[in-house]
Structure 1
């Protein structure tokens, strides 16, 4: 108490200014960059804190305003200028997302700046244009890169490029690059574990793509599956294929797709973009693959037209070739009447149970089948899986839209199917 006996109010401590730098950085990195810059009004110490952030994202939230008085390209150019002028310190992760701009502004200085700051995680998503941006060569000098995502750009590594020695994750999304350079780029990343190749346009990558990555464990691919050759991937366990075209001319063609993936555990195959003209002919699809997929535990088949003879044959081939499956998921594609396809023959449907006579799925516990219409091929497949799966715990069936009378008939038929597992629960889920 002061001598006069009156209470004296002390100024509150500046808690915000006295926070440790590590705490301030964690706070700022969880905010959009625009908000992180605005925290400079909190105190003098915070004024330039954003300038040392090791993780930054430049996207439309920075230049988009409620008035939209400024051109997005001009706004982006101004932001890049301030960033290059004010930022200090290393940058471990940087995301450049300007895919919504009409034109691709010059970003060579930005890429060059990042290459000198020990960048480890880089994402470059550029606008889709008829003339894609040619990636600046300085990016190939980033010796510390561990994660790299590139979208809508032209990639031409310099002749002396020796690879990314530390890269473990690479995603190339609709980039323009020759098939030889794709293979060369991948092979020069000796530690690569995760790879994504998305080529929605067939002319972006032409010719065979050869993948040699001894450490690769997961692979997601959109493109022409027949142009892909997995040469050296002994550890690859998770694969997702979404082919733009798929044609089987001989039994060996199908075998080549799987023969180089001995450790495959998780396979997803999406038929959504496959044109009917390119689907393989059923007569050249083998009953089983020459080498069984003994490590495969999860099989996911999306947009499979089980009323199409060759598609059904392909699906059955994969299932029969995977004796150790633990989970099966099938999303059936229901076609409209006006779309032509080769209908499954009645005798082929009747032969489905016999084609599984010498096998049992001793590890299969879960089956999910969506958009079931009650066709004979679907019902035979459901019947076989119930009869050949002694460890089955749950089968979920979600029907497509159909009349109540037909739906009840499907339920009644499935209910009477024999089950190898006394614990098998069949759930017929109607939304």
Structure 2
């Protein structure tokens, strides 16, 4: 017999549903978006609770007809009606084919009035120019992050002020009405601190020939030009407060800086242009950087110039593939121009092709004068993306271990190294008494 205090609850009794809306919405807001969305099917009350969450996430299913699209728009209107004038923390809207741009415009206007802080909009690829409530954005003192995605045409007016308090702007796969649209959008954000531009328009142009990044407040810049039609493009950077730059570019883009930058961190992966002049000027203009990543093509352009720039503040350096033609011959020269370097990472091993077992003539002739950073500063060397260690790599590793007087750790990704090669490496003479070798 079950004690009185242990009697099971009545099946019709729902303790959770008796909790106040404020507590339930707090619980739902802690769940992943997909899990919180599933609670809408439990009952009418749960459907209303989902509409009251601080983050509004709306994904339009693929619609074959305008009638199907209108059902989605009706659902969106019902959701906003339940919320009333409640503030929106984050608003996500993903539209698909046959969406009604007029109703979408009204929706964006309604959300802006709800003191929204973060907006992410994605529209399908079509010929339409999505209408934005530019005048209403000017009065929004809460919006701090905006993301626009999709191959739709963005036409931005030439007003001086569009987003008075926007700090972060992401532009992904956008088609621009003209170069001036991108310029107007960036310059219309007077307190912008972070900008991300991704060009990924496959099969047709995004009509952007010159990207002019002019911002007196910008601190972080990321550019990704990985998949786009070929052509000659230009990027002009006029951002005196810039601290961080990350560029991934496989297109033939020419970069121009109005003045040298005092960066803290830069990651440059640029496909070198035919004359390499633009790449070398760009890297030279950021020579005050403290943390730097350079890939093989960028390194090639840099090493070809007679007067390689000096990086006096650089303490952490990550290096991409070495070109098989010039091998390690430029490494001493590169390190000599980094006198305070403490950490170096070889992202793809020490050879041009990290997983090959073939022999290469890496043209390694130890310099008569050991680079300053090796003698006095180097603390950590990391070699990634390797399976074992080849004879050629042993040559350079032996030199580094002997000449780095303050080296603390050497980490090598060599999980297939045999015992003989492992023992040989561990027995190399070390210039530092505290140096530890770690194979992972």
Is the alpha carbon distance of 1:116 and 1:427 closer, same or farther for their aligned partners in structure 2, counting shifts above 3 Å?
same
Q: Which residue of 1 aligns with 2:347?
A: 331
Q: Is the 8 A contact 1:331 1:369 kept in 2?
A: yes
Distance apart, 1:300 and its partner CA:
3.2
Q: Which residue of 1 aligns with 2:159?
A: 160
Q: Which residue of 2 aligns with 1:398?
A: 413
Residue 84 of structure 1, aligned match among 74, 77, 83: 77
Q: Which residue of 2 aligns with 1:110?
A: 107
Q: Is the 8 A contact 2:64 2:97 kept in 1?
A: no
Distance apart, 1:400 and its partner CA:
8.5
Asked whether 1:135 is paired with 2:130, we answer: yes
Could you tell me how far apart the structure 1 residues matched to 2:432 and 2:173 are?
46
What is the CA deviation profile of residues 176-208 of structure 1, one whole-angstrom value per residue up to 9, with x for unaligned ones?
A: 234444344323323222222222359436434
Is the alpha carbon distance of 1:312 and 1:93 closer, same or farther for their aligned partners in structure 2, counting shifts above 3 Å?
farther
Q: Which residue of 1 aligns with 2:259?
A: none
Q: Which residue of 2 aligns with 1:93?
A: 90
Q: Is the 8 A contact 2:112 2:136 kept in 1?
A: yes
TM-score, scaled to structure 2: 0.70
Is the alpha carbon distance of 1:193 and 1:298 closer, same or farther for their aligned partners in structure 2, counting shifts above 3 Å?
farther
What is the CA deviation profile of residues 194-229 of structure 1, one whole-angstrom value per residue up to 9, with x for unaligned ones?
A: 222222359436434333334433332222898334
Could you tell me how far apart the structure 2 residues matched to 1:393 and 1:414 are?
16
Residue 437 of structure 2, aligned match among 418, 426, 429: 426
Is the alpha carbon distance of 1:424 and 1:182 closer, same or farther for their aligned partners in structure 2, counting shifts above 3 Å?
farther
Q: Is the 8 A contact 2:276 2:301 kept in 1?
A: no
Is the alpha carbon distance of 1:53 and 1:211 closer, same or farther for their aligned partners in structure 2, counting shifts above 3 Å?
same
Q: Which residue of 2 aligns with 1:340?
A: none
Q: Which residue of 1 aligns with 2:3?
A: none
Could you tell me how far apart the structure 2 residues matched to 1:154 and 1:312 are?
47
Could you tell me how far apart the structure 1 residues matched to 2:90 and 2:434 are?
49
Is the alpha carbon distance of 1:190 and 1:349 closer, same or farther for their aligned partners in structure 2, counting shifts above 3 Å?
farther
Asked whether 1:37 is paired with 2:40, we answer: yes
Is the alpha carbon distance of 1:365 and 1:79 closer, same or farther for their aligned partners in structure 2, counting shifts above 3 Å?
farther
Could you tell me how far apart the structure 2 residues matched to 1:26 and 1:400 are?
47
Q: Is the 8 A contact 2:336 2:371 kept in 1?
A: no
Q: Which residue of 2 aligns with 1:300?
A: 318
What is the CA deviation profile of residues 243-275 of structure 1, one whole-angstrom value per residue up to 9, with x for unaligned ones?
A: 21422566864443234447634434466xx7x
Structure 1: state its 5+ residue gaps. Answer: 1-9, 65-69, 338-342
Q: Which residue of 2 aligns with 1:220?
A: 222
Distance apart, 1:158 and its partner CA:
1.6
Q: Which residue of 2 aligns with 1:207?
A: 209
Could you tell me how far apart the structure 2 residues matched to 1:383 and 1:221 are?
38
Distance apart, 1:146 and its partner CA:
0.7
Q: Is the 8 A contact 1:91 1:117 kept in 2?
A: yes
Q: Which residue of 2 aligns with 1:240?
A: 246
Distance apart, 1:324 and its partner CA:
3.5
Q: Which residue of 1 aligns with 2:374?
A: 360
Distance apart, 1:121 and its partner CA:
0.5
Q: Is the 8 A contact 1:198 1:223 kept in 2?
A: yes
Could you tell me how far apart the structure 2 residues matched to 1:211 and 1:223 are?
15
Q: Is the 8 A contact 1:176 1:204 kept in 2?
A: yes
TM-score, scaled to structure 1: 0.71
Is the alpha carbon distance of 1:155 and 1:318 closer, same or farther for their aligned partners in structure 2, counting shifts above 3 Å?
farther
Q: Is the 8 A contact 2:162 2:185 kept in 1?
A: yes
Could you tell me how far apart the structure 2 residues matched to 1:72 and 1:369 are?
55
More moved, 145-154 vs 369-378? 369-378
Could you tell me how far apart the structure 1 residues matched to 2:201 and 2:295 are?
17
Structure 2: state its 5+ residue gaps. Answer: 1-8, 227-231, 252-270
Q: Which residue of 1 aligns with 2:170?
A: 171
